[in-house]
Chains A and B, each alone.
Chain A
């Protein structure tokens, strides 16, 4: 088979491409959210999709996160694959009951009678001078909930492949997009010029359909001295620090927080004998605590 055509894309373009591919491939996919229709989203993730796929496939919604996610659950129960956008992860909380009590539990509580193949996309994380209301990292609220998968990509290539896999998944997925790296990887040096995605290997994105399976981490740098577990924007910060400091770290981009790729983590920590966790979320009761527990629990690692 011929190598599929690839194109340089930033993260926004990769996400847009994933949505475009899925809208074309699966007639049950619908996209909705505040400002996602005619305008194409405040971060432009859905630009052009309404014009191409029609208003009943891509449309604006009232400003009601509870309504957006609740309506999504109903659409999924009908048999659609809704992909709602919550404009900022900071605003997802009015929809939390619909996500936690409804989307996440539907398959379980109805014993497979009803399911909820819905992917909630939302920009998250800091670094854009957004203050407390445009900067939060609430991922551990979702990894704690049984029945939701939580995915966080760190490159355009991963973003597209993971988003396609999330939409095709038959369970609800919370897909958090690190908005700091929508347009270029962030190295942690805010005083240096922004590096565009085009100079990064992860920006070579196939134009067609491909999947990166949920639950599979990526070893982004092999090393012997220490294992660093990270995800999202921090993948690039860790890479920059490791390069600057010159130590031989093995960097793992988790990509999917739940279900976690424990096999990759276990193999790496066994090899290096040391482990470090880097994330930008609140430390207390954060996902790092779960990672720390996971690497210390099995007798096989320590």
Chain B
């Protein structure tokens, strides 16, 4: 029961955040402040975190409205590097498109696109060394694509087929690729945060030169693991780069449910005494520059950095999701920071290193390439149609050596299958 009012105070009321726009509304992002390029210039990589608080509230930008780079954050990338960046982002987009369709064609159960956030996995990875360790969340397939992990292996995993390196044990897209510096993706959100810190601490304690980088979304910064990780990283000055891909939406919950109505995600760094940068996540050059700054800082024992990429989830959370049910239509088209692929393309065109015709033909080339790989992957089977790893592998790799009780349970399963499907099964 509510207490009777005391004194002269108004009764308490509970604030439940609500996004500004819902289906039926026309989104208006005019309240989003987009500062000038170089509004907060690039500090020295060894700067004390206390001296760069403004960077946690600002927005690091390199590309201006005229698609020309400027300012102290400009990474001054050569044209070849820029073209590689664009190609990787377009390949990622082509891959996403193909796999989303594969789900709609019944070839897999689940897929997640990274549409609109391509820069946050491609440009970041390009700014790391190839042997730095990445601890991704579930929307960073761009890391694997940037590091030339075979697309066919990604597809085999998505199809859970007999070529799946993970033997059908993981939800589609939950890759693992140690050889490519890509940690096994967990469905439990932000658990990778303290793990990345542990990896970085191990690297530092072994006088290694490698650093670790970890990604999570805006929504999952609310997990306890996020805060444990930042505490440990600050305590041990671990060479780790924390990245929050703030794409505004955690399935149907807007970023306000992770605290964005009060402060920025980059500003979380301030309380821990580590460096925090807030970056235009759709400006691939700014994303690259921020990651490069943080990587140099970490590699030179400057400690951890928390980077927030301010971006927008252009499509649904996954193939199971329909954003039309909870957010205003056309939000992505109205997003004030544009589309990362388009902005990089316009930049290349503006400097005379690219044309619309080249762009169109690259899109076609990549789509043909991805489709060809898809045919190759489908030779290994698609989800639910026979061509998978043998069922008994379900019991393997729980431990290094299979203990007696799992052997017994496995034998029981095989026995029951024999009873059900007859001697042909046994013969197989």
Complex interface: chain A residues within 8 A of B197 (CB):
67, 70-71, 74
- A115 B400 Cβ-Cβ under 8 A: yes
B202 interface residue per 8 A CB criterion: yes
Asked whether A170 lies within 8 Å of B403 as measured between CB atoms, the reply is no
Let me know if B195 and A71 touch, CB within 8 A. Answer: yes
- A74 adjacent to B194 (CB under 8 Å): yes
B405: interface (CB < 8 Å): yes
A102 touches B224 (CB 8 A): no
Is B183 in the interface zone, CB < 8 Å from A?
A: yes
Q: Write out the residue numbers on chain A whose beta carbons fall within 8 Å of the beta carbon of B201.
A: 71, 74-75
Determine, out of A36-44, A103-111, A242-250, the stretch whose residues face the partner at the interface. A103-111
Chain B: interface size category:
35 or more
CB of A98 within 8 Å of the partner chain: yes
- Cβ-defined partner of A146 (8 Å) among B191, B202, B232, B398: B398
Closest Cβ of chain A: how far from B146's Cβ, in Å? Answer: 19
Q: Does B399 contact A147, Cβ atoms closer than 8 Å?
A: yes
Interface residues of A in 59-109 (CB under 8 A from B): 61-62, 64, 66-67, 69-80, 82, 94, 97-98, 101-102, 106-109
Task: Give the nearest-CB partner of A259 in chain B.
Answer: B403
Given contacts A102-B188, A109-B169, whether A79 and B405 have CB atoms under 8 Å apart is no
Q: Pick the residue among B135, B170, B194, B203 that contacts A109 (CB under 8 A).
A: B170
A75 smallest CB distance to B (angstroms): 4
Q: Residues 143-179 of chain A: 1 if any B CB is under 8 Å from the residue's CB, otherwise 0? A: 0001101000000000000000000011100000000
Report the minimal beta-carbon distance from A135 to chain B, rounded to whole angstroms: 25
B235 at interface, CB cutoff 8 A: yes
User: Provided the pairs A71-B201, A101-B191 are in contact, do residues A147 and B398 lie with their beta carbons within 8 angstroms?
Assistant: yes
Contact: B199 with A78, CB < 8 Å? Answer: yes
Instruction: Looking at the assembled complex, report how far the CB atom of B40 sits from the nearest CB atom of chain A, in whole angstroms.
Output: 31
Interface of chain A residues 166 through 209 with chain B (CB within 8 A): 169-171
* A70 x B229 contact (CB < 8 A): yes
Determine whether the beta carbon of B191 is less than 8 Å from that of A110: no
- B405–A260 touching, CB < 8 Å: yes
Q: Which of B2-10, B95-103, B171-179 contacts A (4 or more CB under 8 A)?
A: B171-179
Q: Are B405 and A106 in contact (CB under 8 A)?
A: no
Q: How many A-B residue pairs have CB under 8 A?
A: 143
Name the one of B187, B188, B232 contacting A67, with C-beta atoms under 8 angstroms: B232
A111-B167, A114-B184, A149-B399 known; A56-B195 Cβ under 8 A: no
Are B398 and A107 interface neighbours, CB within 8 A? yes
Given contacts A97-B191, A215-B403, A259-B403, contact A80 B232 (CB under 8 A): no
In the complex, per-residue mask of B279-294: 1 if CB is within 8 Å of any chain A CB, else 0: 0000000000000000
A284 within 8 Å of B by Cβ? no
Nearest residue (CB) in A for B205 is A56
Query: CB within 8 A of B397: which of A71, A72, A108, A259?
Result: A108
Residues of A within 8 A of B212 (CB): 74
Considering residues A73, A76, A77, A169, which has the most beta carbons from chain B within 10 angstroms of its beta carbon?
A77
Cβ of A3 under 8 Å from chain B: no
Complex contact B198–A259 (CB within 8 A): no
**A47: Cβ under 8 A from any B Cβ:** no
CA distance A289 to B235 in the complex (A): 44
| Contact partners of B167 in chain A: CB under 8 A | 111
Report the bound CA distance from A70 to B212 in whole Å: 15
Is there a chain A Cβ closer than 8 Å to B258's Cβ?
Answer: no
Report the bound CA distance from A77 to B181 in whole Å.
11
A258, B399: Cα distance in complex, Å: 11
Residues of B within 8 A of A61 (CB): 232, 235
The answer to whether B398 touches A108 (Cβ under 8 A) is yes
B332-373 interface code vs A (CB 8 A; 1 in, 0 out): 000000000000000000000000000000000000000000
CB-defined contacts of A281 to chain B, threshold 8 Å: none
Chain A residues with Cβ below 8 Å from B188 are 97, 101-102
User: How far does the Cβ of A10 sit from chain B's closest Cβ, in whole Å?
Assistant: 31
Cβ of B132 within 8 Å of any chain A Cβ, yes or no, is no
The reply on B109 being an interface residue by CB < 8 A is no
Q: Is the CB of A70 within 8 A of B191?
A: yes
A301 within 8 A of B: no
B387-405 CB mask vs A (1 if < 8 Å, else 0) is 0000000000111100111
B186 within 8 Å of A (CB atoms): yes
Nearest-CB distance from A128 to chain B (Å)? 28
The 10 closest A-B pairs by CB, nearest first: A74-B198, A70-B194, A67-B228, A71-B198, A74-B195, A259-B403, A78-B202, A110-B176, A110-B184, A74-B199
Give 18 pairs: A residue, B residue, CB < 8 Å, sorted on A: A61-B235, A70-B198, A70-B225, A72-B198, A73-B195, A74-B195, A74-B200, A80-B202, A80-B206, A102-B191, A109-B176, A111-B166, A111-B397, A113-B178, A147-B399, A169-B400, A170-B400, A171-B399
List chain A positions with a Cβ less than 8 A from chain B.
30, 56, 61-62, 64, 66-67, 69-80, 82, 94, 97-98, 101-102, 106-115, 146-147, 149, 169-171, 215, 258-260, 262
